[in-house]
Structure 1
Amino acid sequence: MTLGNLRGLYQQVILEHYKKPRHKGKTNPVHRYQKGHNPSCGDTIELTLQLSEAGDKIEDVKFEGEGCAIAMASADLMADALHGKPVNEALEMVQRFQSMMKGQEEFPKELRKLNVMQGVSQFPVRIKCANLTWHTLKAALEANDPQADSFVTNENE
């Protein structure tokens, strides 16, 4: 597959997840809630998580918000990839995604759908858009107050 065809495929997947997100809404019940905001372009995200009874596994992830195609597609792809994942693995995925945005890593075969976001790393101004939902996830999982009405920002990224 040529680089042009690959880039086109990536764009197609991003647009598909932007236009028809599969994980929009709020989880029921909501065990974790976190708002995220990207002041550079105005993207906002409200992330809700449903955890296992022990609180160590992600059972469902949903999001609401407004933003560009990259931010919303990143949220939808992330939510899809997190189903059934242990919390510690989800936090490792945050690190891997952020490394991927720097051109340093990519996801293994079983999570390769997330690699469509790699193309964003070629546009430094858009990296914050892709990373917003991942920053928000990390804050939600590490929060002392899982229902706090505060927001995180990726302004200093």
Structure 2
Amino acid sequence: MLPEALARQIISDHAGHPRGRGEIAGAPHAALDNPGCGDQVTVWARVEGGRLLDVRFTGRGCAISQASASLMTQALTGKPLEEARALAARYRAMVLGEAAPDPALGDLLALAGVSRLHARRRCALLAWRALEAALGEGLPGEATGTV
């Protein structure tokens, strides 16, 4: 687990200066929102040869949702799909408090504290769920919905 001050700095940096912001023309995408707090995110994913070549997002919301989306794009872009799925599963387990923070998560560890804030878990998982939907692991093709 990262020191609290460093975790806050990473979250603030990614929320204020998100990486991976934008659309990918012609790529599958999914839009989800969290009606409880108003977060909205759309995630695009370009997959070729079993590799997640590019992940991008647009949206608005709290610092947690935006930092999570930004960190997700950095953590998963370029990874083979199986490796990306495994990393996403470790992240989800950490956020839900089902597993201890895994050092392999790198900067995603900044969001480990969300596991203690039940209302913020949806914020931290919104982009990740949208990515699953964009990849057809929840909803096919272009999907919209709420979490």
Maintained 8 Å contact 1:139/1:152:
no
In structure 1, what is the equivalent of residue 21 of structure 2?
24
Structure 1 residue 9 and structure 2 residue 21: aligned? no
Matched residue SS, 1:142: coil
- Looking at structure 2, the residues matched to 10 and 30 of structure 1 have their Cα atoms a distance apart, in angstroms, of 35
Structure 1: state its 5+ residue gaps: none
| TM-score, normalised relative to structure 1 | 0.83
Q: CA deviation at 1:83?
A: 1.4
Q: How does 1:53-68 map to 2 (within 5 A)?
A: 54=49, 56-68=50-62
TM-score (norm 2): 0.89
Structure 1 residue ranges, 4+ long, deviating more than 4 angstroms after superposition: none
Counterpart-to-counterpart distance in 1, 2:100 and 2:92: 9
* Structure of higher CA gyration radius: 1
**1:12-43 Cα deviation digits (max 9, x unpaired):** 1000001111211112x432211011111110
Give a deviation string over 1:73-100, Cα, whole Å, max 9, x none: 0000000001111222222222222110
Pairing 1:116–2:113 present? no
Which whole-Å CA distance do the structure 2 matches of 1:61 and 1:88 have between them? Answer: 15
Per-residue CA deviation, residues 28-80 of structure 1 (Å, 9 max, x unaligned), is x432211011111110001111222x3x1111111100100000000000000
Q: 1:6 to 1:139 in 2, by over 3 A?
A: same
Question: Is contact 1:57–1:87 with CA below 8 Å preserved after alignment?
Answer: yes
What are structure 2's unaligned runs of at least 5 residues?
none
| Aligned match for 1:107, one of 102, 106, 122 | 102
Separation of aligned partners in 1, 2:38 and 2:134: 20
Residue 122 of structure 1, CA deviation: 1.6
